[in-house]
Amino acid sequence: MASDRIVIFDTTLRDGEQAPGFSMRIDEKLALARQLDGLGVDIIEAGFPIASDADAEAVRRVASEVRRPVIAALARCCAGDIDRAGWSLGPADRSRIHVFIATSDLHLSRKLRITREACLDAAVESVKHARRYTDDVEFSAEDATRSDFDFLCRIVEAVVAAGAGTINLPDTVGYAVPSDIREFFERIRARVPNADRAIFSAHCHDDLGLAVANSLAAIEAGVRQIECTINGIGERAGNAALEELVMAMRVRPDRLPFETGIRSEYLYACSQALSAFTNEPVQANKAIVGRNAFAHEAGIHQDGVLKDRRTYEIMRPEDVGVPATTLVLGKHSGRHAVQKRCEDLGFTVERFELDQIYRAVITLADEQKTVSDDDLVAIVHELRRPHRDSTHTVVSIEHIEIGYGHGV
C-alpha cells in the first residue's frame, strides 16, 4: 500500500526569522530559499510582508527567483496585510496567502479586544479577499489548541466554505502534549462537516520540547501538512525541527508510514547554511545535525561502531549529509578507536606502540577534553623520533602531555 504524502511547509524564513538573533538580510534569505528548494520542501513561507519593506522585498525576491516550491506569505485578517502579501507574491509561479487570526478567548478579549462573531467575520472576509489573488489560501487559527472547541469548529467550517484549502491549527504557545494533539485533530476532523474539502496542518511550538512529538501525533490523527523550520528555530523555544520530523518518518516507517519530498542528504548542508547566515551555532547535541549527532567517544561505543555501525547508529551519517561517523578521541576512548584513527591517518601501529600512543591520548584528553587529528599526529611523531629508546619514550609522553596540553 502506498504511504501517505506529508506536505512540508517550511517557515524558517518567517517564524524562524522572527526569533531574536535569527534575522537575515534579503540576499541571505534568497540563498537559504534556494537551499530549501534543493532540499525539496513543498512550501516556503518567505515572510510577513506587512511587517516591513525589507520583508516585503524579500518575499518578492524569493517569489521571482525560486520557482519549484509554492511561495507563501503571511497576513493578518485585514485587507492591507493581504494586499501587501498579494503584491509581494506577484512574480511567483505558485503562491499561497496565509491569513491568520487568534481564536482563543484569551487572545480575543485581551489582545485583539473583539468578539468571537467579529473574529469569525474577519476570518471569512479575509479568506475571500485573499482568493482574489490566488486559489491557494491557508487559514490559521492562532492559539487554536487553547480555543473554545465549538467556536473553533464553527470558524473552520466557515473559512473552508469561503475558500480556504488548508486549515492550520497551531499550538502557538507549545502547551499541548501528544495525546491532546491527537485527540484534538481527530475530533475536529470528525466534527466539521466540510473537513474533507481541506488539508489540515499542524504548527507546533517547542516550549515544552514537544513540537516534533506533537507534529507526529497530528500526522497520526490525519494531518497532512506540517509547518516546521530548519534547526527548529522560531519564536521563543522554536518550532518543530524539519530534520527531526523527516528522519523520524524515514527511520521508523513501521510506525510512521508517511513520505515527504525531502532529500535528506541535504539536511546537514541546510542546517549549516542557516547557522552561517545567522551566526548562531547549532547546539552540539542537536538531533540529526548537531556536531555530536554521529560522534562516538566512549570506548565501548567506539568499539561497537567500528565492528558494526548499527550497534550505536540508527541512521547513516551520509543519509543526512554528514560526511562520516566521527570517532572523537577523548578520555573515554578505547585502544581500538585510537588504532583506527591512527590507521585512517596513515600510520600502521604495532601493539607496543599502540599502548604508548593510547596512554598519551588519555593523558592529553584529561587536559583538553578531546584529541584532534593534529594532536594524534604529533603524538605519533614524537614517539617515533629516531633517538628515543623505550625509557625515553615514557619521558616523551610526559612531555607531550605538557607540550600539547594547551592545543599547541
- Binding mask 179-218 toward ligand KIV (x if CB under 6 A, else -) reads ------------------------x-x-------------
The distance of closest approach from Cβ of residue 17 to ligand KIV in the complex, given in angstroms and rounded to an integer, is: 12
* DSSP string for 127-170: HHHHHTT-S-EEEEEETGGGS-HHHHHHHHHHHHHHT-SEEEEE
| CA neighbours closer than 13 Å in the CB half-sphere of residue 262 | 33
Footprint on residues 279-318 left by ligand KIV (CB under 6 A):
none
For residue 43, how far is the Cα from the chain centroid?
A: 15
**Beta pairing partners, 247:** none
The distance of closest approach from Cβ of residue 144 to Zn ion in the complex, given in angstroms and rounded to an integer, is: 11
Nearer to Zn ion, 14 or 129 (CB): 14
Residue 381 has phi, psi (to 5 degrees) of -60, -40
Nearer to ligand KIV, 100 or 358 (CB): 100
Is residue 100 near ligand KIV by the rule CB under 6 A? yes
The distance of closest approach from Cβ of residue 314 to Zn ion in the complex, given in angstroms and rounded to an integer, is: 29
Closest residue to Zn ion, judged by C-beta, is 15
| Cα–Cα nearest to 346, from 391, 314, 380 | 380
- Binding mask 319-358 toward ligand KIV (x if CB under 6 A, else -) reads ----------------------------------------
Nearer to ligand KIV, 109 or 285 (CB): 109
Nearer to Zn ion, 8 or 371 (CB): 8
Binding site partner of 244, from Zn ion, ligand KIV, none, Cβ cut-off 5-8 A by kind? none
Number of H helices and number of E strands within the chain?
16, 14
Tell me how far apart the alpha carbons of residues 263 and 242 are, in angstroms, rounded to a whole number. Answer: 12
Is residue 142 near ligand KIV by the rule CB under 6 A? yes
Is residue 104 near ligand KIV by the rule CB under 6 A? no
User: Could you give the 3-state DSSP secondary structure of residue 123?
Assistant: helix
The distance of closest approach from Cβ of residue 231 to Zn ion in the complex, given in angstroms and rounded to an integer, is: 15
Binding site partner of 100, from Zn ion, ligand KIV, none, Cβ cut-off 5-8 A by kind? ligand KIV
Task: Name the one range near ligand KIV by CB under 6 A: 165-173, 175-183, 284-292, 341-349.
Answer: 165-173
Size of the site for ligand KIV (CB under 6 A): 9
**Beta pairing partners, 73:** 47, 97
Tell me how far apart the alpha carbons of residues 205 and 241 are, in angstroms, rounded to a whole number. Answer: 10
Query: Any idea which residue has 578521541 for its cell?
Result: 329
Tell me how far apart the alpha carbons of residues 71 and 134 are, in angstroms, rounded to a whole number. Answer: 11
Residues lying near Zn ion in the complex (CB under 5 A) are found at 15
The distance of closest approach from Cβ of residue 135 to ligand KIV in the complex, given in angstroms and rounded to an integer, is: 20
Tell me how far apart the alpha carbons of residues 327 and 108 are, in angstroms, rounded to a whole number. Answer: 54
Residue 67 has a CB neighbour count (10 Å cut-off) of 12
The distance of closest approach from Cβ of residue 45 to ligand KIV in the complex, given in angstroms and rounded to an integer, is: 9
The distance of closest approach from Cβ of residue 272 to ligand KIV in the complex, given in angstroms and rounded to an integer, is: 25
The distance of closest approach from Cβ of residue 99 to Zn ion in the complex, given in angstroms and rounded to an integer, is: 14
CA distances from 155 to 71, 88, 291, 384 (A): 25, 27, 45, 77
Nearer to Zn ion, 214 or 339 (CB): 214
Task: Name the one range near ligand KIV by CB under 6 A: 145-153, 167-175, 287-295, 347-355.
Answer: 167-175
Nearer to ligand KIV, 73 or 380 (CB): 73
The distance of closest approach from Cβ of residue 356 to ligand KIV in the complex, given in angstroms and rounded to an integer, is: 58
Task: Name the one range near ligand KIV by CB under 6 A: 30-38, 122-130, 168-176, 306-314.
Answer: 168-176
Q: Which residues of 258-295 are buried (b: 16+ CB within 10 A; e: fewer)?
A: bebebebebbbbbbbbbbebbeeebeeebebbbeebbb
Residue 86 has a CB neighbour count (10 Å cut-off) of 19
| Cα–Cα nearest to 172, from 106, 252, 95 | 106
Footprint on residues 11-50 left by ligand KIV (CB under 6 A):
15
Nearer to Zn ion, 236 or 263 (CB): 236
The distance of closest approach from Cβ of residue 287 to ligand KIV in the complex, given in angstroms and rounded to an integer, is: 22
Q: Which residues of 151-185 are buried (b: 16+ CB within 10 A; e: fewer)?
A: bbbebbbbbbebbbbbbbbbbbbbebebeebbebb
* Residue ranges binding ligand KIV (CB under 6 A): 15, 100, 140, 142, 168, 170, 172, 203, 205
